[in-house]
Amino acid sequence: MPKVSEDRLAARRGAILDAARRAFARHGYEGATVKVLEAETGLSRGAIFHHFRDKETLFLALAEDDAARTAEVVAEHGLVQVMRDLREKDAGWLGVQLEVRRKLRTDPDFAERWAERQETVRQATEKRLQRQREAGVVRDDVPIAILADFLRLVLDGLVSSRATGMPIAHLDGVLDLVEDAVRKPAVPHK
């Protein structure tokens, strides 16, 4: 039997994740049964679970990929850019975010594992804020950890609003206000 290349395995894993995202968004975590996942991916349960130990591992992989991408954007452009990018997120991404929030509320084991993954985003946010503070851009009268918590809370609210379909009529204005809240005030000229 020929060996499957790493590229092919990675492509298969990515295809499973894409299909699982659609299944979780459409049916919710509980409704995305193994049969639903098989139908959505076009693969057998053995092929799916060759890459992921079980449904929860598959779901966590989606959440982990989202957290990794978020951390990359935060490190390069800041958490407000993540918020600006929300308007481009599709129903699959938003549906997974709703399921993450539900599981955080109802599943303590999941919440513990999720907290570990979110640590990457928290660290990236605090490092970016510290670099921006050292450059004289971020206010210095509020601890970095509080600024990071403020940004995370705004992001969580925006994600929840987008995921539930609530329109945000003035998103750009809101995000400009969020940026102004963490920036160092301009010194007035005399």
Predicted pLDDT of residue 190: 65
Answer with the residue of higher pLDDT: 98 or 55: 55
Q: Which residues are CB-contacts of 64 (< 8 A; sequence separation ≥ 6)?
A: 117
Query: CA 158 to CA 15: how far, in whole Å?
Result: 28
Average pLDDT over residues 108-135: 88
Predicted pLDDT of residue 164: 78
For 2, 3, 41, 53, 81, the CA distances from 9, given in Å and listed in that order, are: 13, 10, 15, 15, 32
- pLDDT tens-place string over residues 168-187: 788 889 999 999 999 998 77
Predicted pLDDT of residue 4: 66
Question: Do residues 69 and 47 make contact, with C-beta atoms less than 8 angstroms apart?
Answer: no
What is the token pair recorded at 82? 């993540």
Average pLDDT over residues 44-72: 88
In CATH terms, the fold of domain 54-182 is Tetracycline Repressor; domain 2 (1.10.357)
Question: Do residues 103 and 111 make contact, with C-beta atoms less than 8 angstroms apart?
Answer: yes
